Amino acid sequence: MADSMIEAQPDVLMDIDREAQGDVCTEEMLVNMGPQHPATHGVLRIVLRTDGEMILEAIPHIGYLHRCAEKIGENVAPYQYIPYTDRMDYLAGMNNNQGFSLAIERLCGIEIPERARYLRIIFAELNRIASHLVSLGTYGLDMGAFTPFLYAFRERERILDLCEAACGARLTYSYITIGGVTDDIPDGWADTCSEFLDFFEPKIDDYNNLLSFNHIFVKRTAEIGVISAEDAVAFGLTGPCLRASGVRWDLRKVLPYDGYENFEFDVPIAEDGASGIPTEVVVGDCWWRYFVRVLEMSQSIRILRQALAQLPEGEFLATPKKIKSIKLPEEEVYVEVENPRGQLGFYIRGDGSAIPARVKARGPSFCNLSITTHVCKNILLADVPAIIGSIDVVMGEVDR
């Protein structure tokens, strides 16, 4: 008996040694992030399969904001559907109005006045800046930086003031409509807009000093959630998420609409070794997805200055009385525009009546979110908010 005890002693010592060294076995656990969570940018639920602090798999669950938007489009006249487009991407209502209006105009052969085209571009670019400011400010909050949020929303308020002066609304505008825009800008509006641009342009340097080149922010976002150009194309990413992977693709340049071909501007993309860029960052990471939006705000300012300087006189709406009585031909059309989050497309098929037979929307947030499971593997739990925030989804557009 004593001999057997002596033989068992080495195993006991090994067990004690394991505990001393911290060799503890763990088991996987499923954690729900959302649907009500400050880092999910809306009612998005992500089921995380974790092993300690490591994320092994992340599966997004959507549908909490589904409102039958496409089915509604098949039961109302096109001009009645404009307010519904505001509520898809509710941070870019002007751009959504523009996409649907263009689709109906091409289907029905409606030509809009030149002044209306310029006004559309002006408000689309103002809304692009406002949308990117929300992305910038809330992303800073996700990473623990509160002050940039206050700065970004301060400037955004002035853009909303400009929109309110033109159409009376600050979020869901219904301003860009079939045939042009619903109303002309008031007297002195263009000068006020120019003053805002003069005020806003230097603020971008403040954002960079506060957040973009902040050492802690760079450490939290550099080399995190890297998406290669091949993966970005394969998963259907568009907008800043695609350009942050080094792909120079912007519909305003490659397939211009509403007169964008008349403006000079650049398409910012992520580049290795770009001057003034932190050495830690790599093409396709969270930092570049954030910073491409910062660069795009400067390009929107360029477009706005040109549009305000060249704004022609004339009508702002084509045949307003006929817009409410148009019949959709028995044809189909698909039109895409460059929304702040990527390519927003509308497919419309008519059957000769005043109501579309089929309405389908291609939301950029929905496609961009599809890469979540692919990119959220073998990362730390703290990196999930960084990746989700850099994609910049709006759940109203994902679920529709």
Confidence (pLDDT) at 320: 63
Task: Please tell me the predicted confidence (pLDDT) of residue 7.
Answer: 46
Q: What is the pLDDT of residue 218?
A: 94
Mean pLDDT of the chain: 90
What pLDDT, on a 0 to 100 scale, did the predictor assign at position 56? 93
What is the residue extent of each domain of the chain? Answer: 60-399
Nearest partner of 114 among 41, 180, 197, 169, judged by Cα = 180
pLDDT at 6: 40
The confidence score (pLDDT) of residue 14 equals: 47
In CATH, what is the architecture of 60-399? Orthogonal Bundle (1.10)
Q: Residue 38: its pLDDT value, please? A: 74
CA distances in angstroms from 368 to 19, 347, 373, 389, 395, listed in the order given:
45, 19, 11, 12, 12
Q: What is the CA radius of gyration of the chain?
A: 25
The pTM (predicted TM-score) of the whole model is 0.90
pLDDT of amino acid 273: 79
Identify the pLDDT of residue 346.
96
> Which residues of the chain are modeled with pLDDT < 50?
1-10, 12-14, 16, 18, 20
Beta strand 332-339 with 29-33 is unpaired
